[in-house]
Amino acid sequence: MNQHFFKAKISSKKIINGDLCLIKLSVDGWKGHTPGQYLEICLTAQNDYKAYRPYSIASKPNNKYIEILIERIPEGEVSTYFYDISDIGDELLVSKPLGQFFILPVIDKNVILIAGGSGIAPFMSMIKNRYSNKKFKLTLFHWSQNFSGLIDYDVLINQNQKINYYPYITQEVPDNWSKGTGRINKKTFEKLDKNLYHKIFICGSDSFVENVNGIIKETFPHREILNERFGDV
């Protein structure tokens, strides 16, 4: 690893459900990021073994701290550390913000954000930045196995004037749930005016991204599609 790393410390840890947790890091010398960027996490074991993993930055761009959304993956050495073992005060290393591809445009264009599970992480940063930048309209689709995985649901559902929000639950559907259910299909985007959108961002597992791409290319031909995938971490 040639890039510069910053010293970081876990300042808070929130367990969201049996698979997800939100980690807040205080970072020495952190100067902010662009929404959609990611960073490399470096964990060092007692035997000096180092594990590096990329994580999207979920926090507001100008924050003095960093938030990352961790999905616990069985056999994932870094994600299981964060979910099962890590504690407030633990120290680690983080890289500078990385990636210039999966970021929001600064021009006046409407975009669609499509997230599967913890793929919501980079969009959390984009959405928080949207509150101070009204040049374009965001439309967010988020698929989760259960309600608790719909991060910031209570905030997003009340932002109709700023964001079009379409949450979906695929498995553990509450009895009083009145929003979307089931997996993505060709009918999902029928309600949208296809002439309004110029860029489409997709983030999730490999299988989710592949499935969504097939549908999007048929539904929104000749649109720019940006993909970000995550694997076992």
Q: Structural domain boundaries of the chain?
A: 5-95, 110-230
Please give the Cα distance from 117 to 131 (Å, whole number): 23
Tokens 């120290």 belong to residue: 91
pLDDT band, very low/low/confident/very high, at 11 (cuts 50, 70, 90):
very high
Q: Are 70 and 21 in contact (CB under 8 A)?
A: yes
- Strand pairing category for 110-116 and 91-95: unpaired
Please give the Cα distance from 119 to 94 (Å, whole number): 20
Q: What is the mean pLDDT of residues 29-37?
A: 90
69, 193, 224: which is closest to 142 by C-alpha? Answer: 69
Domain 110-230 fold: Rossmann fold (3.40.50)
Domains 5-95 and 110-230 share a fold: no
Tokens, residue 115? 């997230």
Q: What is the pTM of this model?
A: 0.90
Is the model's pLDDT at 106 over the cut of 80? no
Q: What pLDDT is stored for residue 142 in this prediction?
A: 96
pLDDT band, very low/low/confident/very high, at 123 (cuts 50, 70, 90):
very high
CATH of domain 5-95: 2.40.30.10
